[in-house]
Structure formats: structure tokens, C-alpha cells
A and B are shown apart, each in its own frame.
Chain A
Amino acid sequence: MKYLDEFRDPELAGRLFEEIRRLTTRPWALMEVCGGQTHSIIRNGIDQLLPPAIELIHGPGCPVCVTPLEVIDRALAIAARPEVTFCSFGDMLRVPGSSQDLFRVKSAGGDVRVVYSPLDAVKLAQQLPERQVVFFGIGFETTAPANAMAVVQAERLGLHNFSMLVSHVLVPPAISAIMESPQNRVQAFLAAGHVCSVMGTWQYEPLVSRYRVPIVVTGFEPLDVLEGVRRAIAQLEEGRAELENAYPRAVRPEGNRPAQQVLEQVFEVTDRNWRGIGPIPGSGWRLRERYRAFDAEERFAVGHIRTDESPLCHSGEVLQGLLKPNQCPAFGKECTPRTPLGATMVSSEGACAAYFQYGRFIPVGAVEASR
């Protein structure tokens, strides 16, 4: 139990583990949706401290990982233009496109800048009126309110040199897609807490009843994750399928209404291709017609760029929970955070990167066999 001391409250963590052990009578497979939760699980060894009967399947909730390759290639094409100042969250810089990444575009003289907030890009557009400032608007429902507001702000300020390359993805359609996959093994979900802070929990009720699957809204701290696991296992063992909120300190059932209003005003639902997973109907947001003037894909005519994924990378299976990162033949060999073959090795929220960072080089099955 070498990791237990590292919990904020080791005694409490110990009790939660005990309670989970007491509840568990047979094998269960849970999926944590969010990459932040995956990180917390691997860092604290939660997967190794839980009873072996419980398998945690790492979900697709890493926005950097699922941003489709063709969008990355469009970003690279836009960023390389001489008139463009390309702004992005730092995680996107090393995400491999078909032949290079943003970092290399920058080294080759492209004006690529890392910003903390999309509003920083709006400010930059004000300061650099002679430049075309483009923001790479990716993410789940958590970052979408920020990106939507940046567009509203740019319009309010009458900025003609600001645009956004939008590739937003949504959690509920991804849960549907996972449940409908013939290969699905997931029996309960730990939903992403902060996505629900924005969107509320009401979107998940229909999923719970349609698929009879427990969904527990869960936070990111190790103790939050443990509480989410405890509640999910309790439901499964008792044969219940309910929506539970294990993260009430940050999630209200109705979510953030002012944010939802601006999202509704700026974005509309669209089909989205998820990197490694494929197209999921109605699983993304794009700018509404009214805001098309701020759409970078239209401004720079890059919509035609289509590309294929490298055949070496198994991140699709990793993102669908069919393969653990350390079961990929390239893991830790050809593929490391310095030389990533897939997006899941780049972002700190990606499962491959989490496994690499915390030295999980041996698959769990192999560890058990050697015990």
C-alpha cells in the first residue's frame, strides 16, 4: 500500500478501499470518462489498490486526444500562413498531425503562441490589428463556455481579424456510442464532474434509463474518485441503475444556466469525428450560422483537408477501453512523450502519457501472473 500515504487523508482513503472491498462480490468494469480522473487514478495507484475484480476502463475524456487528425492538419495549415498569429492551449503544441506538429511550425518561423484563456487571443487580436489571430477552440463542455464567450466578445469589439478553429466534443453522445458498441464491456460510468458543473446532470437521466447503466457524477481528487467507485459498485451489486451526484460541492443538477445560454447562442450540434474512435453523430458543437464570420475553417478555406491516422498507433483501442496503453507494442519504445505517435501520449490527460509518466510499463495481467 505504498501509495496510500499520498492521499490527502490516508485513513479515509483506507476506509473507502475497505468499504469497496466489502461491497465487491464479483467482477465489474467501470469507465472513468475524464482524462483528469485517469491521471488521478494512475498517479495514486487507485487501480492497483482496488480489488482485482474491479477494472477501470479509461474513457475518451481527453479533449486533446480526440481532436480529429484532419482538424490538427487544418490547424497546422492555418498556423503556417505568414499573416496568421495562431493561439492554442499549450497541450496542443506537440499533438502529431499527419506529418508534423504546431511546435515544428513554430520552430520553422510560424507565429504560434500558447495562451491560458481564449480571451487572451481576443486581446491579442486587439493589439495586433494587422495580423489574423486564430484561436484553436477545442475541448469538452468545460472549455466551451470560455470559447463561446471569446466569440461573443470579438463580435462586441467589432474585431475582423479574430477567428476560431472550432472542434468541440460532447460527453453524452460519446457515452451512447460506447454503450451501443458491440464490443462494449462498460457496466457503469464515472461521469466528468466539471462537465456537469457547466451542463448539469439532467442530460444523463435518459442515458441511465435507456441503457440501464449506473452513472455517478465524480470529481477529480483521489478521494472523489474513490467515492465515485464506491457508489457505482454499490449500485451494480444491488442491481440498481441510477444517476448519482458524488460531487455536489461543484455540481448542481441544473448546471450553469448563464453559460448554457451563451453556448446555445453561439454553438449548434454537429456530427464529429473523434480521433481514434471515428464519427459519432451529434457529438460536437460548431459555430452557428450567425457567427460563421468567425469560423477559421471558412476564412482560410481549409475544410477540404482530410487525412489518415498512422497505422502504428493503437490509441483508438485505448480510447475505447479495449486496450491498456502498456499493451500497445509501441508504448515506451517508439512512442514516448518526447516522440509521441498518438495524441494520447501527448496531453497530460491522455492515458498513454499517464501510464508513461508513472512508470506503468507492465500490463496488469502480467503483474498478477508474476505474483
Chain B
Amino acid sequence: MCLGIPGKVVEIYEAAGARMGKVDFDGIVKEVCLAYLPEIQVGDYTIVHVGFAITRLDETSARETLTMFHRMGILEEELNAGEEVSP
């Protein structure tokens, strides 16, 4: 229930006075309330909790953690050059 799912905004409209939209979760499209992300546009990524988009997840920052890991891994390889690594 409390795990957020990332998805892509594919449609934005107004319903009963609230900013709503359709979000595509890897093929499954659901109605989502976008009231908390007034700036989000069609094509943007977001994390959705119980039908509400709570945070933007732009493509650049979506990749940031992975890039950081990679950087860290490479860094760590450099550090481990000639150093003993326990199995």
C-alpha cells in the first residue's frame, strides 16, 4: 500500500475541480491525482502513492543514483588496485 510506483504521465485533465491525469505504469494506465504536482507535464515521470503523484522523477535524476553507483564502483576499483579484498 505504501510503496510508491514510478510511472509516466500520459494525459492531464480537470475532474471535480481537481487536477487529474492518466499515468502509465509500464503498460498499465491508471487515473491519478496530480494536484500535488502543479508543474508536472505530459511525458514527465512521477512516483505514485495510493492514486496520488507525490514527487517528480525527471529522467536525469532517475539515472543519477545509478550513475553515482557506477562512479562509486569505478572509484572503488581504483582504490582496490593492489589491495586485498576479502571474498
Contact = CB atoms under 8 A, between A and B. Distances in A.
B61 A19 contact: no
A359 B56 CA distance: 36
Contacts of A153: 16-18
Interface string B12-48: 0000111000000000001001011110000000010
B54 to A, nearest CB: 5
Given A16-B69, A116-B50, A63 B2 contact: yes
B47 A117 contact: no
Given A117-B33, A117-B51, A258-B36, A140 B69 contact: no
Residue among A117, A248, A258, A262 with most chain B CB within 10 A: A117
Interface in B45-87: 47, 49-52, 54-55, 57, 61-66, 68-70, 72-73, 76-77, 80, 85-86
Contact of A259 (B1, B3, B36, B76): B36
Contacts of B69: 9, 12, 15-16, 223, 227
Contacts of B50: 89, 116-118, 139, 143, 146
B76 A63 contact: no
A136 to B, nearest CB: 11
Q: Is the interface of B mostly helix, strand, loop or mixed?
A: mixed
Residue among A16, A35, A143 with most chain B CB within 10 A: A143
Nearest to A126: B16
Q: Is the interface of A mostly helix, strand, loop or mixed?
A: helix
Contacts of A21: 85-86
A256 B1 contact: no
Residue among B2, B4, B57, B85 with most chain A CB within 10 A: B2
Interface of A: 9, 11-12, 15-16, 18-19, 21-22, 34-36, 62-64, 89-91, 116-120, 139-140, 142-143, 145-146, 149, 153, 156-157, 194, 197-198, 219-220, 223-224, 227, 230, 246-252, 256, 258-259, 262, 347, 349
